[in-house]
Structure 1
Amino acid sequence: MEKTVSHVALFAAVIAVLGLMPKLTLAFGIPVTAQSMGIMLAGAILGARRGALAVLVFLLLVALGLPLLAGGRGGLGVFVGPTAGFLAGWVAAAFVTGLIVERWRSAPLGLVAGVASVIGGIVVLYAFGVVGMALVLHRGLLESAGLVLIFVPGDIVKAAITAALTVSLARARPQSLLSRA
């Protein structure tokens, strides 16, 4: 129990630290951030339940007003803006990423973590994000999907980095890879 709490808190902090990159916001209000890689890492390393819990802890801190999102944003207002769908999708993205890494054991870990990060951290996350953008910006789903396509190449790089870091952690400290415990 104590180990789980510390891992969840650690990954909530990792997600926060990845938001410290200089703010770069695109014209339609969605910032470019490394925090989505933190979501992928939380799922791949902690597993489905712990990874989703780490994201929930992070989002609770944001809701309480801590400026932990990219560009120093925080507070309840971020949950009704153009990024609201992405924020909601972070929980599902970490869960799906972790679930795939937990269950798919027949392939090399790097491949599994990479594919899981693409499915959870891109496909699932974008599904939530596009719907949220369409609702907030009063645009169609296809138009909203078109707006976020610019993020796909960077998110594929984040998925590859997540796979490499997951494999490195598994080699260095196999007991720390809770998704495979």
Structure 2
Amino acid sequence: MPIIFKILRVAAEKCSYNGPLWNNIGMCFFSKGKYVAAISCLKKAIYLCPLDWKINFNLGLVHYAMQQYASAYHFFSSAVNLNPRSSIVYMALAVILTSLNDPINARKAYEKAILLDKNSTPQLYLNFALFEAKQGNSDKAMEYLKQFENMKRKNFILPQVCHCLKSLLSKNQNCRYSHRLNSAHVV
């Protein structure tokens, strides 16, 4: 058993009514792929701190990892209501709405996330570019990909991520930017 679990077990024995502690324990289980244990700990955390947006967000992540999209939507929606100024929460909501085949509301959630973002979240632009590419909107996808690449240069993001998106866009038969994608330089 990793040392962090031993430390958290001692902490839980001394203070079992601490929501953030149970949140941390749950996310440790999540990192080990033990989703049922993670949900159990996070449910205890949310029972203790029902208005903590981070716990709701983490429950959404675990449910998303288990492909329980309706449950993930419930918790991400709660996180949005509890913290309406977080671009990351809106991005997660958009990803879930995409998984639930609701592209109209997913696009609205992405747009809201971009309004809230201060150009500090590159993955937001990457996810929006992927979304637009899958929807067949090559122009918009390229626009967000360019923003992502500009942020990538500033923040050093792995080149493999760009290659994945470029290959997705280049597979699109109607993509008029395929020549740019093939000649683009990824650092």
Specify if TM > 0.5: no
Task: Give the alignment's TM-score, normalised by structure 1.
Answer: 0.28
> Which of structures 1 and 2 has the bigger CA Rg?
2
Task: Give the alignment's TM-score, normalised by structure 2.
Answer: 0.27
